[in-house]
A and B are shown apart, each in its own frame.
Chain A
């Protein structure tokens, strides 16, 4: 992809997503695709810090959940318009990223991963003990009306999630090819060397965490509208964090294409499995894929493609 063509690809993709539901009517497609796209956007966001910077965040559901609860609360209890609620959700989630970043991005390797796990539990218990957020009972969401061009709310949500995914991918592509990406990859390889070479490591990690948190929050902010009811156990679910990690890993960690491929492939298999077999096997599919790829192809699907077509992948975790 040439640099100057990137904005055009972005616009064409956005237009395609916006128009698709007008012509193609198949309710289940949009219902299932929404979840797949949600994982595309989450995985792309996760890859910013986890893939380029090598800091594994196992708290995706915390950022996602903060977004979901902020938008549900603003929309439901205060009657604030959705678009503003969505942006506010992203902002609060980004702020959460600043807090997590300041407190735990100085920790290295596995300690950061543990800190993000702890953060998930912390937010979950705060929500569980806040009556205004429905405590353990949860919150029901009043569905807004869908605009006339789309048949129903799910189609609209599909379009919105499609747009968020495309924008996330665009951001990720830009970061991978900018000084921010170069600095993150340098610190992933060797943090001390990177500092000595002038890379402001802490600042870059914080940028990545905040941007990643913002995107995850925006993704989460739509979920209450999709599902209609949220409660702390299904929202702050480690399964979401685990899914996102494995999808990115299987697609090809540290490349902008990897998380897209991984989320599309695994997300689709999961959606198909939940209809044809049972939804219980969702995580089993992911876990099995993780094992197979971990042993046979640490570079992920992107790595396999690159090897087949003779191009080296830019990212490795080691």
Chain B
């Protein structure tokens, strides 16, 4: 479904990603892990289009999207959440969710129907009671849930989640993982960037490991947790 080849990104003198090949299959659950600064978020941004790759190509559903703008990729079915939530701060939660309904799904806000759809999405992440509040009245955790509702509003086929579980208690994390499994069951491919190993290992069918912008390992969770390269990257020698 997504096929990225030779992705390379330099920020000034810093090489954030070097010649990374990255594939996501249709309906797959993929974990993307690596130490801090290994290039995980940069890779997500390159797939979503908010950062352009210096070299290499990206194909999505057989179509070259290397130069396609982020809003068009959103329409093609690539949704994402941000590690540090990016709410639209002048709007209510409901309006935050209505934006993608209008711009990605082409629903009009004339009738109450669009609001109903938005409310349903907020309900999925447990935020329907706060629909009329503004982002600054929410906790970080709730903002992250709003990010998820917003990403789902675009009916993505590929969902990129940047540390959506960070800061959650293990009970809360289990709830979100349960929700994600449900979404995946409806055919949405999910790429999860995550530091909570228990969650990402339990959730993913396949894991990709980055270290200093290089892909150092790839395989099922079992293989990855026994891979000497991965242990070295995380624990040191």
Since A195-B70, A316-B90 are in contact, a sample of 7 more A-B pairs with Cβ atoms closer than 8 Å, ordered by chain A residue number, is: A182-B95, A193-B82, A196-B82, A197-B104, A197-B153, A199-B99, A314-B90
Total interface residues in chain B, CB < 8 Å: 30
B102, A194: Cβ atoms under 8 Å? no
Q: Does A161 contact B (CB under 8 A)?
A: no
Q: How large is the interface on A (under 10, 10 to 19, 20 to 34, 35 or more residues)?
A: 20 to 34
* Closest Cβ neighbor of A203 among chain B residues: B71
Q: Does B50 contact A (CB under 8 A)?
A: yes
Distance, CA A275 to CA B205, complexed state (A): 78
Determine which of A183, A189, A314 lies in contact with B89 in the assembled complex, contact meaning CB atoms within 8 Å.
Answer: A189
Q: Does B40 contact A (CB under 8 A)?
A: no
| Chain B proximity of A255: nearest CB distance (Å) | 11
B89, A197: Cβ atoms under 8 Å? no
Contacts of B102 in A (CB 8 A): 179, 182-183
Contacts of A182 in B (CB 8 A): 95, 98-99, 102, 109
Q: Does A185 contact B (CB under 8 A)?
A: yes
B88, A196: Cβ atoms under 8 Å? no
Q: A179-B103, A182-B99 are in contact. Are A196 and B74 (CB under 8 A)?
A: yes
* Closest Cβ neighbor of A316 among chain B residues: B90
Most A-side CB within 10 Å, residue of B71, B79, B153 = B71
User: Chain B residues in contact with chain A, CB under 8 A?
Assistant: 48-50, 69-71, 74-75, 79-80, 82, 86-91, 95, 98-100, 102-104, 108-109, 150-151, 153-154
Most A-side CB within 10 Å, residue of B87, B88, B91, B100 = B88
| Chain B proximity of A312: nearest CB distance (Å) | 9
B88, A318: Cβ atoms under 8 Å? no
Distance, CA A185 to CA B90, complexed state (A): 8
* Closest Cβ neighbor of A177 among chain B residues: B109
Q: Does A192 contact B (CB under 8 A)?
A: yes
B80, A196: Cβ atoms under 8 Å? yes
B99, A197: Cβ atoms under 8 Å? yes
B100, A198: Cβ atoms under 8 Å? yes
Q: A185-B88, A186-B91, A315-B90 are in contact. Are A194 and B80 (CB under 8 A)?
A: no
| Chain A proximity of B144: nearest CB distance (Å) | 13
Write 27 A-B pairs (CB below 8 A) sorted by A numbering. A179-B108, A182-B98, A182-B99, A182-B102, A183-B99, A186-B99, A189-B89, A190-B87, A193-B82, A193-B88, A194-B71, A195-B49, A196-B50, A196-B80, A196-B151, A197-B74, A197-B99, A197-B104, A198-B71, A198-B99, A198-B103, A199-B71, A200-B71, A254-B90, A316-B89, A316-B90, A318-B89
| Chain B proximity of A119: nearest CB distance (Å) | 25
A186-232 contacts to B, CB under 8 A, are 186, 188-190, 192-202
Distance, CA A186 to CA B150, complexed state (A): 13
| Chain B proximity of A23: nearest CB distance (Å) | 40
Determine which of A179, A190, A198, A200 lies in contact with B88 in the assembled complex, contact meaning CB atoms within 8 Å.
Answer: A190
Most B-side CB within 10 Å, residue of A182, A185, A318 = A182
Distance, CA A179 to CA B91, complexed state (A): 14
Contacts of A183 in B (CB 8 A): 99, 102-103
Contacts of A189 in B (CB 8 A): 87-91
Most B-side CB within 10 Å, residue of A194, A196, A254, A314 = A196
Most A-side CB within 10 Å, residue of B75, B79, B99 = B99
Contacts of B86 in A (CB 8 A): 190, 192-193
Contacts of A186 in B (CB 8 A): 88, 91, 99
Distance, CA A196 to CA B89, complexed state (A): 16
Distance, CA A183 to CA B71, complexed state (A): 12
Contacts of A197 in B (CB 8 A): 71, 74, 99-100, 103-104, 150, 153-154
Map CB proximity to B onto A31-58 as digits: 1 under 8 Å, 0 otherwise: 0000000000000000000000000000
| Chain B proximity of A128: nearest CB distance (Å) | 39
Contacts of B99 in A (CB 8 A): 182-183, 186, 194, 197-199
Contacts of B75 in A (CB 8 A): 198
| Chain B proximity of A55: nearest CB distance (Å) | 15
Distance, CA A104 to CA B82, complexed state (A): 27
